[in-house]
Amino acid sequence: MKKIASIGLLVLVASMIVGSIPYAEAQSDSGALLRIAKAAQNQVERQISHYDGVSDEIKRLFNEGVSEVNAMQQAMRTDDMESVKRHFLNAMNIFKKITMTLNQTDIQTSSTDVAESATVPQRDYNSDLDRLKHLVSTLKSIARSQSVDFAQVDALVNKATQQVRENDREGLHETIVQLKAHLDEIKKELRKHASQKTAEREIKFFSSMIDRLEQKDADQDLLNEAKGMLTEFEQLIADGNYKDAKELKRALTDKIRQLYKSLS
DSSP of 199-217, one letter per residue?
HHHHHHHHHHHHHHHHHTT
Number of CB atoms found within 10 A of residue 65's CB: 24
- pLDDT of 3 reads 39
> Is the C-alpha dihedral spanning 64, 85, 244, 236 positive or negative?
positive
Amino acid at the residue 181: A
> Is the C-alpha dihedral spanning 183, 184, 188, 190 positive or negative?
positive
Compute the distance between CA of residue 257 and CA of residue 58 in angstroms, rounded to an integer.
Answer: 45
- pLDDT of 119 reads 43
Number of CB atoms found within 10 A of residue 211's CB: 10
Compute the distance between CA of residue 39 and CA of residue 10 in angstroms, rounded to an integer.
Answer: 9
User: Which residue pairs from 83-88 have beta carbons closer than 8 angstroms and sit at least 24 positions apart in sequence?
Assistant: 84/26, 84/30, 84/33, 85/18, 85/21, 85/26, 85/33, 88/14, 88/18, 88/33, 88/34, 88/36, 88/37
Compute the distance between CA of residue 231 and CA of residue 234 in angstroms, rounded to an integer.
Answer: 5
Contact 27, 84 (CB under 8 A): no
CA 172 to chain centre: 28
User: What value, to the nearest 5°, has the Cα angle with vertex 10 and ends 8 and 11?
Assistant: 65
Compute the distance between CA of residue 72 and CA of residue 80 in angstroms, rounded to an integer.
Answer: 9
Length in residues, the chain: 264
CA 61 to chain centre: 21
- pLDDT of 226 reads 92
- pLDDT of 124 reads 65
Look at residues 1, 123, 8, 93 and name the one whose alpha carbon lies nearest to residue 54. 1
Give 10-residue mean pLDDT values along the chain (264 residues): 45 46 48 82 82 80 92 88 87 86 63 41 68 86 79 92 88 90 87 81 90 90 92 88 87 90 82
- pLDDT of 106 reads 56
Contact 201, 22 (CB under 8 A): yes
pTM: 0.44
Look at residues 179, 94, 191 and name the one whose alpha carbon lies nearest to residue 135. 179
Contact 142, 36 (CB under 8 A): yes
Is 262 strand, coil or helix? helix
Q: What are the phi and psi torsion angles at 186 (to 5°)? A: -65, -40
Compute the distance between CA of residue 152 and CA of residue 167 in angstroms, rounded to an integer.
Answer: 22
Compute the distance between CA of residue 85 and CA of residue 189 in angstroms, rounded to an integer.
Answer: 24
Contact 198, 21 (CB under 8 A): yes
